[in-house]
Structure 1
Protein backbone atom coordinates (compact mmCIF):
# COMPACT_ATOMS: atom_id res chain seq x y z
CA UNK A 1 0.00 0.00 0.00
CA UNK A 2 1.39 3.40 -0.91
CA UNK A 3 1.38 6.29 1.54
CA UNK A 4 -1.43 7.97 -0.42
CA UNK A 5 -3.50 4.77 -0.31
CA UNK A 6 -2.84 4.37 3.42
CA UNK A 7 -3.87 7.97 4.12
CA UNK A 8 -7.08 7.48 2.11
CA UNK A 9 -7.76 4.25 4.01
CA UNK A 10 -7.30 6.04 7.35
CA UNK A 11 -9.75 8.77 6.37
CA UNK A 12 -12.31 6.27 5.06
CA UNK A 13 -12.06 4.11 8.19
CA UNK A 14 -12.27 7.14 10.48
CA UNK A 15 -15.36 8.44 8.68
CA UNK A 16 -17.05 5.07 9.15
CA UNK A 17 -17.05 5.80 12.91
CA UNK A 18 -19.17 9.00 12.59
CA UNK A 19 -21.98 9.12 15.16
CA UNK A 20 -20.58 6.22 17.22
CA UNK A 21 -21.54 7.11 20.80
CA UNK A 22 -18.85 8.36 23.16
CA UNK A 23 -18.06 5.74 25.77
CA UNK A 24 -14.97 5.72 27.95
CA UNK A 25 -12.44 3.02 27.01
CA UNK A 26 -14.75 1.41 24.43
CA UNK A 27 -13.79 0.48 20.89
CA UNK A 28 -16.80 -0.95 19.05
CA UNK A 29 -17.92 0.87 15.91
CA UNK A 30 -21.51 2.06 16.19
CA UNK A 31 -21.63 1.15 19.89
CA UNK A 32 -19.00 3.19 21.73
CA UNK A 33 -15.52 4.70 21.55
CA UNK A 34 -13.46 7.43 23.21
CA UNK A 35 -10.88 9.83 21.82
CA UNK A 36 -7.93 7.54 22.58
CA UNK A 37 -9.52 4.36 21.28
CA UNK A 38 -10.73 5.92 18.00
CA UNK A 39 -7.27 6.53 16.52
CA UNK A 40 -6.03 3.21 17.92
CA UNK A 41 -8.93 1.40 16.22
CA UNK A 42 -8.55 3.27 12.93
CA UNK A 43 -4.77 2.92 12.61
CA UNK A 44 -4.99 -0.77 13.59
CA UNK A 45 -7.80 -1.45 11.10
CA UNK A 46 -5.65 -0.19 8.23
CA UNK A 47 -2.65 -2.19 9.43
CA UNK A 48 -0.38 0.63 10.59
CA UNK A 49 -0.10 -0.24 14.30
CA UNK A 50 -0.57 -3.30 16.50
CA UNK A 51 -3.72 -3.75 18.55
CA UNK A 52 -3.00 -1.39 21.45
CA UNK A 53 -5.03 -1.89 24.62
CA UNK A 54 -3.83 0.72 27.15
CA UNK A 55 -5.50 1.02 30.53
CA UNK A 56 -6.58 4.43 31.84
CA UNK A 57 -9.23 5.96 34.06
CA UNK A 58 -11.80 8.49 32.76
CA UNK A 59 -10.11 11.47 34.44
CA UNK A 60 -6.47 10.43 34.60
CA UNK A 61 -5.41 13.67 32.90
CA UNK A 62 -6.77 15.72 35.79
CA UNK A 63 -4.78 13.96 38.49
CA UNK A 64 -1.41 13.02 36.97
CA UNK A 65 1.45 14.75 35.21
CA UNK A 66 2.71 11.60 33.49
CA UNK A 67 2.18 11.87 29.73
CA UNK A 68 0.59 8.42 29.33
CA UNK A 69 -1.11 9.09 26.01
CA UNK A 70 2.03 10.55 24.44
CA UNK A 71 3.92 7.46 25.60
CA UNK A 72 1.45 5.28 23.65
CA UNK A 73 1.69 7.45 20.51
CA UNK A 74 5.41 8.10 20.22
CA UNK A 75 6.54 4.52 19.43
CA UNK A 76 4.27 4.54 16.36
CA UNK A 77 4.36 8.13 15.10
CA UNK A 78 6.76 11.02 14.77
CA UNK A 79 6.07 14.56 15.87
CA UNK A 80 5.71 17.01 12.99
CA UNK A 81 5.00 20.71 12.56
CA UNK A 82 1.42 21.93 12.15
CA UNK A 83 2.02 23.02 8.55
CA UNK A 84 3.08 19.45 7.69
CA UNK A 85 -0.28 17.92 8.65
CA UNK A 86 -1.90 15.77 6.00
CA UNK A 87 -5.01 13.60 5.91
CA UNK A 88 -4.63 10.68 8.30
CA UNK A 89 -2.26 12.45 10.70
CA UNK A 90 -2.97 12.79 14.42
CA UNK A 91 -3.48 15.93 16.50
CA UNK A 92 -3.33 15.90 20.30
CA UNK A 93 -4.46 18.59 22.73
CA UNK A 94 -3.71 19.23 26.36
CA UNK A 95 -6.77 18.86 28.54
CA UNK A 96 -6.14 18.97 32.25
CA UNK A 97 -2.50 18.36 33.11
CA UNK A 98 -1.49 16.26 30.10
CA UNK A 99 -2.04 15.70 26.40
CA UNK A 100 -5.21 13.66 26.61
CA UNK A 101 -7.46 14.39 23.62
CA UNK A 102 -6.82 13.44 20.01
CA UNK A 103 -8.29 13.66 16.54
CA UNK A 104 -7.47 12.36 13.10
CA UNK A 105 -7.02 14.92 10.32
CA UNK A 106 -9.51 14.47 7.49
CA UNK A 107 -8.40 17.49 5.44
CA UNK A 108 -6.90 20.29 7.50
CA UNK A 109 -8.56 21.98 9.35
CA UNK A 110 -11.29 19.28 9.39
CA UNK A 111 -10.77 16.58 11.99
CA UNK A 112 -12.71 13.63 13.34
CA UNK A 113 -12.77 12.86 17.05
CA UNK A 114 -14.81 11.28 19.82
CA UNK A 115 -16.20 14.16 21.85
CA UNK A 116 -17.39 13.48 25.39
CA UNK A 117 -19.46 16.68 25.58
CA UNK A 118 -21.19 15.89 22.26
CA UNK A 119 -21.59 12.26 23.20
CA UNK A 120 -20.40 10.93 19.85
CA UNK A 121 -17.79 10.80 17.12
CA UNK A 122 -18.08 13.90 14.98
CA UNK A 123 -16.27 16.13 12.55
CA UNK A 124 -14.69 19.27 13.91
CA UNK A 125 -12.59 22.22 12.86
CA UNK A 126 -9.25 22.47 14.63
CA UNK A 127 -9.02 26.17 13.75
CA UNK A 128 -12.47 27.16 15.02
CA UNK A 129 -13.70 24.77 17.74
CA UNK A 130 -13.69 26.76 20.97
CA UNK A 131 -12.68 23.74 23.09
CA UNK A 132 -9.52 23.25 21.01
CA UNK A 133 -8.11 26.51 19.67
CA UNK A 134 -6.74 27.87 22.94
CA UNK A 135 -5.15 24.60 24.10
CA UNK A 136 -1.56 23.49 23.54
CA UNK A 137 -1.42 20.98 20.70
CA UNK A 138 1.02 18.51 19.16
CA UNK A 139 1.01 16.96 15.70
CA UNK A 140 2.03 13.46 14.64
CA UNK A 141 2.37 11.41 11.48
CA UNK A 142 2.74 7.66 11.10
CA UNK A 143 4.47 8.29 7.78
CA UNK A 144 7.48 10.39 8.81
CA UNK A 145 10.70 8.47 8.58
CA UNK A 146 13.65 8.79 10.98
Structure 2
Protein backbone atom coordinates (compact mmCIF):
# COMPACT_ATOMS: atom_id res chain seq x y z
CA UNK A 1 0.00 0.00 0.00
CA UNK A 2 1.12 3.58 -0.69
CA UNK A 3 2.94 5.02 2.35
CA UNK A 4 1.22 8.40 2.01
CA UNK A 5 -2.18 6.72 2.15
CA UNK A 6 -1.09 4.55 5.08
CA UNK A 7 0.03 7.64 6.99
CA UNK A 8 -3.19 9.52 6.15
CA UNK A 9 -5.35 6.59 7.28
CA UNK A 10 -3.57 6.78 10.64
CA UNK A 11 -5.26 10.18 11.09
CA UNK A 12 -8.81 8.86 10.52
CA UNK A 13 -11.06 9.87 13.41
CA UNK A 14 -8.92 12.86 14.39
CA UNK A 15 -11.36 15.67 15.30
CA UNK A 16 -11.58 18.80 13.16
CA UNK A 17 -9.74 21.68 14.84
CA UNK A 18 -9.04 24.83 12.83
CA UNK A 19 -5.26 25.45 12.36
CA UNK A 20 -4.27 22.32 14.31
CA UNK A 21 -2.02 19.49 13.11
CA UNK A 22 -1.90 16.87 15.87
CA UNK A 23 -2.88 13.27 15.10
CA UNK A 24 -5.66 12.08 17.38
CA UNK A 25 -6.14 15.50 18.99
CA UNK A 26 -7.18 17.72 16.09
CA UNK A 27 -6.44 19.08 12.63
CA UNK A 28 -7.95 20.88 9.68
CA UNK A 29 -7.35 19.91 6.04
CA UNK A 30 -4.00 21.73 5.88
CA UNK A 31 -3.04 20.29 9.25
CA UNK A 32 -3.70 16.77 7.94
CA UNK A 33 -1.38 17.37 4.98
CA UNK A 34 1.24 18.89 7.28
CA UNK A 35 1.06 15.88 9.61
CA UNK A 36 1.32 13.36 6.78
CA UNK A 37 4.25 15.38 5.35
CA UNK A 38 6.06 15.14 8.71
CA UNK A 39 5.45 11.40 8.95
CA UNK A 40 6.44 10.54 5.38
CA UNK A 41 8.98 13.19 4.38
CA UNK A 42 10.23 14.90 7.54
CA UNK A 43 10.45 18.54 8.48
CA UNK A 44 7.79 20.79 6.98
CA UNK A 45 9.08 22.99 4.13
CA UNK A 46 7.65 26.24 5.55
CA UNK A 47 6.19 27.73 8.70
CA UNK A 48 2.45 28.17 8.28
CA UNK A 49 1.27 31.52 9.62
CA UNK A 50 -2.00 31.81 11.55
CA UNK A 51 -5.01 31.98 9.25
CA UNK A 52 -8.69 32.73 9.65
CA UNK A 53 -11.49 30.53 8.33
CA UNK A 54 -12.07 33.00 5.47
CA UNK A 55 -8.36 33.61 4.75
CA UNK A 56 -7.51 34.64 1.21
CA UNK A 57 -11.19 35.00 0.25
CA UNK A 58 -11.45 38.80 0.66
CA UNK A 59 -8.36 39.29 -1.54
CA UNK A 60 -9.19 36.43 -3.90
CA UNK A 61 -5.63 35.11 -3.59
CA UNK A 62 -4.81 31.47 -4.32
CA UNK A 63 -2.41 30.97 -1.40
CA UNK A 64 -2.75 27.17 -1.23
CA UNK A 65 -2.29 26.76 -4.97
CA UNK A 66 0.87 28.86 -4.93
CA UNK A 67 2.21 26.98 -1.89
CA UNK A 68 1.44 23.67 -3.59
CA UNK A 69 3.43 24.71 -6.65
CA UNK A 70 6.29 25.88 -4.46
CA UNK A 71 6.60 22.69 -2.37
CA UNK A 72 5.17 19.89 -4.53
CA UNK A 73 5.00 18.84 -8.17
CA UNK A 74 1.79 19.90 -9.91
CA UNK A 75 0.42 17.05 -12.01
CA UNK A 76 -1.84 16.70 -15.02
CA UNK A 77 -5.36 16.32 -13.57
CA UNK A 78 -5.76 13.09 -15.56
CA UNK A 79 -2.59 11.57 -14.04
CA UNK A 80 -4.33 10.07 -11.01
CA UNK A 81 -2.39 8.16 -8.37
CA UNK A 82 -2.80 7.06 -4.77
CA UNK A 83 -1.20 9.58 -2.44
CA UNK A 84 -1.83 12.60 -4.66
CA UNK A 85 -2.63 15.85 -2.87
CA UNK A 86 -5.92 17.27 -4.10
CA UNK A 87 -6.81 20.96 -4.02
CA UNK A 88 -10.53 21.76 -4.13
CA UNK A 89 -12.54 24.89 -4.91
CA UNK A 90 -15.63 24.50 -2.75
CA UNK A 91 -17.74 27.14 -4.52
CA UNK A 92 -17.65 28.66 -8.00
CA UNK A 93 -15.72 31.92 -7.90
CA UNK A 94 -14.18 31.18 -4.49
CA UNK A 95 -10.49 30.57 -3.88
CA UNK A 96 -9.35 26.96 -3.71
CA UNK A 97 -8.78 26.18 -0.04
CA UNK A 98 -9.69 22.60 0.78
CA UNK A 99 -7.14 19.78 0.64
CA UNK A 100 -7.34 16.02 0.55
CA UNK A 101 -5.18 12.99 -0.22
CA UNK A 102 -6.20 10.47 -2.88
CA UNK A 103 -6.59 7.12 -1.10
CA UNK A 104 -7.99 4.80 -3.78
CA UNK A 105 -8.26 5.18 -7.55
CA UNK A 106 -10.53 3.54 -10.11
CA UNK A 107 -13.82 1.94 -9.05
CA UNK A 108 -14.44 2.83 -5.43
CA UNK A 109 -12.08 5.82 -5.59
CA UNK A 110 -11.75 7.69 -2.30
CA UNK A 111 -9.83 10.48 -0.63
CA UNK A 112 -8.93 11.38 2.95
CA UNK A 113 -9.55 14.86 4.29
CA UNK A 114 -10.33 16.81 7.44
CA UNK A 115 -13.80 18.23 7.14
CA UNK A 116 -15.49 20.67 9.51
CA UNK A 117 -18.10 18.86 11.60
CA UNK A 118 -16.70 15.43 10.63
CA UNK A 119 -13.00 15.34 11.48
CA UNK A 120 -10.63 13.25 9.37
CA UNK A 121 -12.64 10.92 7.17
CA UNK A 122 -12.24 8.84 4.04
CA UNK A 123 -14.89 9.92 1.55
CA UNK A 124 -15.96 8.52 -1.79
CA UNK A 125 -14.33 10.47 -4.61
CA UNK A 126 -17.75 11.08 -6.13
CA UNK A 127 -18.57 13.28 -9.12
CA UNK A 128 -19.50 16.26 -6.89
CA UNK A 129 -16.09 16.09 -5.21
CA UNK A 130 -14.17 15.34 -8.42
CA UNK A 131 -15.58 18.37 -10.22
CA UNK A 132 -14.30 20.63 -7.42
CA UNK A 133 -10.65 19.57 -7.89
CA UNK A 134 -8.62 22.40 -9.40
CA UNK A 135 -5.13 20.95 -8.91
CA UNK A 136 -3.40 17.65 -8.20
CA UNK A 137 0.09 17.46 -6.70
CA UNK A 138 2.69 14.79 -5.94
CA UNK A 139 4.60 15.00 -2.68
CA UNK A 140 8.38 15.34 -3.10
CA UNK A 141 9.37 11.77 -2.23
CA UNK A 142 12.79 10.35 -2.90
CA UNK A 143 12.84 7.22 -5.08
CA UNK A 144 13.64 4.23 -2.93
TM-score range, shorter chain: 0.7 to 0.9
**Which stretches in structure 1 are left out of the alignment for 5+ residues?**
1-6
1:78 — aligned with what? 73
Instruction: Output the TM-score relative to the length of structure 2.
Output: 0.82
1:68 — aligned with what? 63
In the aligned structure 1, how far is the partner of 2:25 from the partner of 2:3?
A: 21
8 Å Cα contact 2:88-2:96 kept in structure 1:
yes
**CA offset digits 1:6-35 (Å, max 9, x no partner):** x72211110000010001000111110001
**Which stretches in structure 2 are left out of the alignment for 5+ residues?**
none
2:114 — aligned with what? 114
Instruction: Output the TM-score relative to the length of structure 1.
Output: 0.81
For these two proteins, the number of residue pairs brought into alignment is 136
Between stretches 91-100 and 41-50, larger displacement belongs to 41-50
1:99 — aligned with what? 96
In the aligned structure 2, how far is the partner of 1:77 from the partner of 1:92?
A: 12
Give the CA deviation at 1:70.
1.5
1:11 aligns with 2:8: no
Distance 1:115 1:107, change over 3 A: same
In the aligned structure 2, how far is the partner of 1:98 from the partner of 1:49?
A: 27
1:27 — aligned with what? 21
**Structure 1 residue matching 2:96: 3-state secondary structure:** strand
**Structure 2 residue matching 1:66: 3-state secondary structure:** coil
8 Å Cα contact 1:61-1:99 kept in structure 2:
no
